[in-house]
Amino acid sequence: MKITKLSFVALMACAATASFAASDIASAFKEGKLDGRLRAHYMGADYYDNGASGVAKTDSKGVAVGGSLIYKTAPLLGISAGVGAYTTQNPLGLTEDNSVSSNYVSNKDLFWDGPTNSPYHYGKGYAILAQAYLQYSLAKTDIKAGRMLLTNPFMNPNDTKMIPTAFEAASVESKDIDKTALYGSYVTKYKERRRESFSTMSDSADSPDAIKAYYHSEGGTGSHDVASVVVIGAKNNSVKNLELQAWYMNWADIVDQAILEANYDMKFGAVGVKLGGRFFKQFDRGAGDIIKPQTGSAYGSAAYKFKGDNDNKVDTYMYALRAIGSYGPAKLLLSYSHTDKGGDLLAPWRAFPTDGYTRSMTQTDWNANTTAYKAQVDYNLSGFVKGVSALLAYSYYNRDETKVPYQSMTHRAYTNGDTIQWNFDVAYKPEFAKNTEFKIRTMDQRNDTVGKVGANTSSANKDTSNKELRIEANYLF
């Protein structure tokens, strides 16, 4: 009976899909959809100590303008095609190279920074066809292959700057089973938002240094071929107000990762409460032999050693908890996370293990033996000024000073002291300018002056505390 019911639902979905499908190739293009976006972004990083006792670099700032055009044909016999072109440019040369000691943070995130191990190119704009795929749809199942954006707990477009990250992959998403969604991806290449080409899955700023050096990449020195990545996942809403998720990622000869998550919504009159928990387990499948987080490793011309871990494995886990309360225009988040001392979680593709829980802008809080706390208030101010909303967040990251991160972390290099961070953001969607949004995002980060351990002492006891300002403008058409 259940099979019959499922087949009937699938048949009806196919009929509904067919009623919106094109009848020939010409109409498939004619009835396609075009989405556009114009965007501008200012980013500035202001360090408290620019001298020898700090970052020993000048502050960083940059201005970029650009946008995207995304076109998708109407389906013909269930088959459609999509392309997405993106660009970022340096208007009037406003972002320029001040000196060789300049800090690269803003420039790297807004513009092209060249292949691995190449000199940075200040303010160099570029354009890229980040999406180019074929899709086949049947009932509530979509199968895609080509260049695309992927969103799952291990991979994310991270579209907070000018150009998102993208992947070359084959993916499937199915919602044919009632109250259940199934996902699968086979991913062969990765493009960072600061790159104008696709490279190997190890060629990421967030990959451990030793893995980047060990494996072949565009502009890299590694001689080994890195494996593709497989992701499978499921979401289920069979129980009222309860969402369950299960995910698994395999990066052959490096790591496997598994995630279990549950979120439960409750309502007490006008007050909403959401309770959530995430468990993230990492299995060493060879990464430890490359990174050697206890004794150190040397690949290419660089040495990565004396990281401070207990052994030369990266088996570890992380758990995170959160409570979200809402009342009228206000929402309060309280969250906690802890990563086991066994090792850092590997998160190379801009999907952050603690996202939605304790992570705040620029933070990496899934290093070995790190405990994090976060409180955030979101408030819709439309009752005072139409279209305005704001958030205020406080985060505290308690790190283990005896353990050195496997890769450089945003704003802090390899320093592993505790961090206190405040974030204050304001967003404005004016009524007089439909599809337009302005954002001001601020961050104040105070880092303990604790640096590398063992032989890695080049940035020991440096004050990397800093402030950041981002101003964004977006127009969708």
Q: What is the pLDDT along the chain (477 residues), one digit of tens a residue?
A: 343 333 434 444 444 444 457 889 999 999 999 999 999 999 988 889 888 777 777 788 889 999 999 999 999 999 999 999 999 999 988 887 654 545 566 777 788 876 655 555 667 889 999 999 999 999 999 999 999 999 999 999 999 999 999 999 999 999 999 999 999 999 999 999 888 889 999 999 899 988 988 898 776 667 788 889 999 999 999 999 999 999 999 999 999 999 999 999 999 999 999 999 999 999 999 999 998 888 766 655 455 555 667 788 999 999 999 999 999 999 999 999 999 999 999 999 999 999 999 999 999 999 999 999 999 999 999 999 999 999 999 999 999 888 888 888 877 777 778 999 999 999 999 999 999 999 999 999 999 887 554 444 445 577 889 999 999 999 999
* Most distant pair of Cα atoms in the chain: their distance: 74
What is the SS3 assignment for 212? helix
- Chain centroid to Cα 183, Å, comes to 18
Contact 187/150 with Cβ under 8 angstroms?
yes
Torsional sign, CA 364, 162, 42, 439: negative
Question: How many whole angstroms separate alpha carbon 359 and alpha carbon 355?
Answer: 5
d(CA 322, CA 291): 32
Radius of gyration of the chain (CA): 23
Q: What are phi and psi of 167, to 5 degrees?
A: -140, 150
Closest by Cα among 151, 16, 129 to 83: 129
pLDDT at 457: 42
Whether residue 372 contacts residue 398, with contact meaning beta carbons closer than 8 Å, is answered with yes
Count of alpha carbons within 13 angstroms of residue 217, beta-carbon side: 29
pTM: 0.89
Helix (H) or strand (E) holding 289: helix 287-291
Q: Is 435 left (phi over 0), alpha (psi -120 to 50) or beta?
A: left
- Count the Cβ atoms, other than its own, within 10 Å of residue 413: 17
pLDDT score of 306: 54
Give the three-class secondary structure for 91: helix
Show the tokens assigned to 275. Answer: 């309770």
**CB 259 within 8 Å of CB 244:** no
Locus of tokens 């809080």: 365
| Sign of the four-CA dihedral 437, 196, 166, 252 | negative
Q: Are 155 and 166 in contact (CB under 8 A)?
A: no
User: What CATH number is given to the structural domain containing 51?
Assistant: 2.40.160.10
Domain that residue 197 falls in: 2-476
d(CA 65, CA 442): 20
Residue 162 near residue 126, CB atoms below 8 Å: no
pLDDT of residue 302: 55
Reported as type and span, the H/E element at residue 29 is helix 25-30
Q: Please give the helix or strand (H or E) that residue 371 lies within, else none.
A: strand 371-380
Residue 205: the pLDDT is 87
Contacts of 264 (CB under 8 A, 6+ apart): 241, 242, 243, 274, 275, 276
Place of tokens 């360090």: 47
Task: For residue 11, report the phi and psi dihedrals to the nearest 5 degrees.
Answer: -65, -45
Q: Which two tokens stand for residue 449?
A: 């002056």
The Cα 113–Cα 116 span in angstroms is 9
In total, how many domains does the chain have?
1
State the Cα–Cα distance between residues 338 and 358, nearest whole angstrom: 10
Let me know: does 114 contact 121? Beta carbons within 8 Å: yes
- Alpha-carbon distance of 297 to 60, in angstroms, equals 32
| Token pair in block for residue 149 | 């954006």
Instruction: Classify strands 466-476 and 388-398 as parallel, antiparallel or unpaired.
Output: unpaired
Give the Cα separation of 23 and 29 in Å (integer): 11
Residue-level pLDDT at 198: 93
Of 90, 123, 126, residue with least CA distance to 107: 123
